[in-house]
A and B are shown apart, each in its own frame.
Chain A
Amino acid sequence: MQPVFIINSSSIASDGTVAGLTMPAVEPDYKEIITDATLRRRMSRFVKMGVACGLECLGQTSDIDAVITATGLGCLSDTEKFIESIVVNNERLLNPTPFIQSTFNTVGGQLALLKGIHSYNVTYVHRGLSFESALIDAALQVADGARNVLVGAIDEITAASADVQRRMGLLKNYPLGEGSQFFMLAAKADAAPAVCDIETHTGLIDSEFVSVIESFIQRNNLRLGDIDCVLSGSSVVEKMFGDKAVDFKKQCGEYQTATAFALWKATQMNCANVLIVNQYQQINQSLILVRR
C-alpha cells in the first residue's frame, strides 16, 4: 500500500492505573472541548470521549474528505440503558435519547454535525479488527485522492461489560481497558510518521501468526533486525523480538480497539520502524507498520 502520513493525533487513555478489573481512561474537562452544554449533557461518556478526541484531532483543519470511526462494542452504556428501560417500562413510553445515541456511528455522525462535514463517513465494528478496518479504508481514501482523512476509535468500560468479560475469561491477561484515539491522515507530510502497511487475520494459531509476521516484514523489504520497536499485544512476539517488544496493553488494558492506542504510542516515538503486533483474544490478529 501507499504510505499514509499521520499529520496530527489525539488520545484519551488510561495512565496505567488499574482499578479492580479495569483501566479507566483519564478524561479531559469536556466543557473546554464540547462547549454546547445541552449537547454535552445528552452525550454518554462514550460519545463525549469520542467526540472530544475527534475534535482535538481536527483542530482548525478544514477540507476533511473522510471521517472514519471504529468501535468494538459501541455505545454500551446507552445500549444498556435502553434495554433496561424496555424491561422496566414493559416497552411503553420510552425515552428515545439512549436509543438515538446507541447507534454505532454516533461519534462519526456527531463530528460531521458539529463541524459541518458533508464528506464520506463510515463506522467499522469488527471485533479486534475494527480499527484496522478503519485504517485500511482511510489509506484507500488517501490513495484515491482524499486530502485530510480523520480516522479514530472509541470503546468504553461499563460495569456490566467488565462483569461479562471477566466471566467469559477475557480478562485473564490484562484488565479491561477503554479510550479513544484519532489521527489525521494525508498523502504527504514532512517529518511525520507514516502507516506503511496493515494486515488482518482471523483465527490463526501461534505458529501461523509467526510466519505471517515474518512474511509481512519481508514484504516491506525489511529484516527482523530492522524493526526498532515492537508494540505488542500478543504473546508470540516476545519470543521473536526479545526486549524490543513493549507490551502496550499493560498501559491501556485489553479491548477491541486497543491498537488505536498502540498507533498513538507509535506516533510519540522517535523510531525508524515500529511494528504493532496485536492479537485480540484468540480471535483476531493484526499487523501495522509505522515508519519515519
Chain B
Amino acid sequence: MRIAVTGLGAVSGIGLNVEENIDALRRKRHGMEKPRFFQTNLDVPVSEVKKSNNELKHLLGVEPDKTVSRTALLGMLAAREALSDSQIDAKAMRVGLISSTSVGGMDLSEVFYNDFRTDHSRGRLRMVSQHDCGASTEFVANQLGITGFTTTISTACSSAGNAIMLGARMLKHNMLDAVIVGGTDSLCKFTLNGFNSLMILDKEHCRPFDASRAGLNLGEGAGYIVLQSAETVRRKPYCLLTGYANANDAYHQTGCSPEGNGAFKSMSEAIAMSGVKLEEIDYINVHGTGTPNNDLSEGMALKRIFGDKVPPFSSVKAFIGHTLGASEGIEAVYSALSVSYGFIYPNLNFKSPAPETQLVPETEFSEGHNIRNVLSNAFGFGGNDTTLLFSKFEE
C-alpha cells in the first residue's frame, strides 16, 4: 500500500497555520523572543505561539470560561487545519487520531499544584483533570468529531514521529482508512526548568550545527498530517510516506552516543524500507536541536551514511524552537511541503562548521528544486530515534 500525505496543519511560534509558517521561513522571520503569555523567572528566549489562550479559544469556537490546556488548544487548531486540508469525509471512513505530547496538561497542573502542595484539600480539580497526556488527544478528537481509534504516544522529543509511524502501520493493516497523526506541546515551567537544570538551554538564540552552538531554545506548537491509502485520496497528495524507522541509541538516558548509533540505525532502516538510493535523497530536515551533543551525534551519523556526499540539510529549530512532542509533527508538515514544492529551509545563525564533522547546512530559503525524497529526523530522551522518509507522489 502506498501511504499518501493529503492534509497538513501546523501552529508554531512563527505562524498559526501552514501558510503563515512557510511565509515566515521564506522571510527568515524566527519566533524567538522573551515569553509574552507564559510566566517564568528564567531569562531565556522561547518560541511562543503569539496568541493567548482566550484568543486561541476564540479561533476554535471554545467557550472562554471552559478550562482547556494550552496543549489541547494548540493541537485542536493544527489538527483541524490538517483534516480540512485533506478533504476526507470523516463520516464515511474509519478515521483515527494518533497524537503525541510530552507535557499534556502540565500548564494547568502547575497552577493547581501551587494551591495543592501545602494542603491537599485545596486546588481546583478542573485544573488537574487534564494532567494526563490522553486528555489533550480526547479534546482534539472531540473537536474534530473523530470516533475511530484514538491513542497517545509519549517518547519525549521523538513522539510525533512515532505517532506518524503507527498511523502508517495501522493503514497497512487495514485497521483504518485514514488517520490524523502528529503531536502537540505547550510551553510550561516543568520542561523549561527541566532543560535548564540539564544545562542544555542556550541563553542566546540557538545555533544548530554551528561550531559555537551552546544549547537549544524551547518552543511550543502542534503539527499534524493526514495519511491515507493513495487509492482513496480526494485531492492530489503532497507526497508519499515511503519509509520510517524507530531505533534506540541505548547509550544514555538523556544523551546521544558520540558516533550516533541510534540515528545511524533509524536513518539507515528508513532508507532501506523505502528502497530509494542515497543519491535520490535531495534534502534532510535534521533534528538539529543546537545542543553540542545532538548535533555532533546526528552529524556523525549523517557522515557514516552519506560519506562526503551529505545532501542539502538544515534545522528549523532556530525558527520554532524545540517543540518536543510536537516537533516531528510540525517538521513533517515542512518536509511534506519540501517534497511537494521543492522548498529548502534556511538554518539560521550558522557561521562556521563543527570541527568534527565540517558539515555546512543550507542557510537560505530556496524553492523550485526537484526534491524526490526528504529524510526527517526526531531524537529524544530514552535513546529514542525516529526517522521518516517522504517521497514524491506520482500518479
Q: Is the interface of B mostly helix, strand, loop or mixed?
A: mixed
Interface with A: B224-232, B297-305, B378-386, which one? B378-386
Selected contact of B120 from candidates A82, A86, A160, CB within 8 Å: A160
Bound Cα distance A99, B248 (Å): 20
Given that A83-B110, A87-B114, A109-B248 are known contacts, is A103 also in contact with B132, CB under 8 Å in the complex? no
| CB-defined contacts of B196 to chain A, threshold 8 Å | 91, 94
Given that A87-B114, A91-B42, A160-B120 are known contacts, is A121 also in contact with B384, CB under 8 Å in the complex? yes
For residue B289, CB closer than 8 A to chain A, the reply is no
Residues 37-91 of B at the A interface (beta carbon under 8 Å): 40-42
- Cross-chain contact A125 with B247 (CB below 8 angstroms): no
- Cross-chain contact B197 with A96 (CB below 8 angstroms): yes
Residues 170-224 of A at the B interface (beta carbon under 8 Å): 200, 202
- Cross-chain contact A103 with B383 (CB below 8 angstroms): no
For residue B253, CB closer than 8 A to chain A, the reply is yes
Residues 95-141 of B at the A interface (beta carbon under 8 Å): 102, 104, 109-110, 113-114, 116-117, 120-121, 125, 128-129, 131-135, 137-138, 141
- Cross-chain contact A109 with B384 (CB below 8 angstroms): yes
- Cross-chain contact A113 with B383 (CB below 8 angstroms): yes
For residue A108, CB closer than 8 A to chain B, the reply is yes
Selected contact of B383 from candidates A72, A101, A121, A168, CB within 8 Å: A121
Bound Cα distance A67, B162 (Å): 13
- Cross-chain contact A118 with B262 (CB below 8 angstroms): yes
Q: How many residues of B contact A (CB 8 A)?
A: 62
Given that A119-B247, A168-B125 are known contacts, is A103 also in contact with B382, CB under 8 Å in the complex? yes
Given that A100-B254, A105-B381 are known contacts, is A118 also in contact with B248, CB under 8 Å in the complex? yes
Selected contact of A126 from candidates B137, B162, B261, B381, CB within 8 Å: B137
Selected contact of B154 from candidates A83, A96, A105, CB within 8 Å: A105
- Cross-chain contact B246 with A120 (CB below 8 angstroms): yes
Known contacts A91-B42, A105-B154, then 20 further A-B pairs from the complex at CB < 8 Å, ordered by chain A residue: A83-B110, A84-B117, A87-B114, A91-B193, A99-B197, A100-B254, A102-B194, A106-B382, A109-B381, A110-B253, A112-B383, A113-B250, A118-B248, A130-B134, A130-B152, A159-B120, A164-B116, A202-B138, A202-B141, A256-B132
> Footprint of B on A, CB under 8 Å?
67, 72-74, 79-80, 82-84, 86-87, 90-92, 94-96, 99-106, 108-110, 112-113, 115-127, 129-130, 133, 137, 140, 143-144, 159-160, 163-164, 167-168, 200, 202, 256, 283
Q: List 26 A-B contacts (CB under 8 A).
A: A79-B190, A82-B190, A86-B189, A91-B41, A91-B196, A92-B41, A94-B193, A100-B194, A105-B380, A108-B155, A109-B381, A112-B250, A113-B383, A116-B250, A118-B247, A121-B247, A122-B155, A122-B246, A123-B153, A123-B155, A124-B152, A163-B121, A167-B121, A168-B125, A168-B129, A202-B141
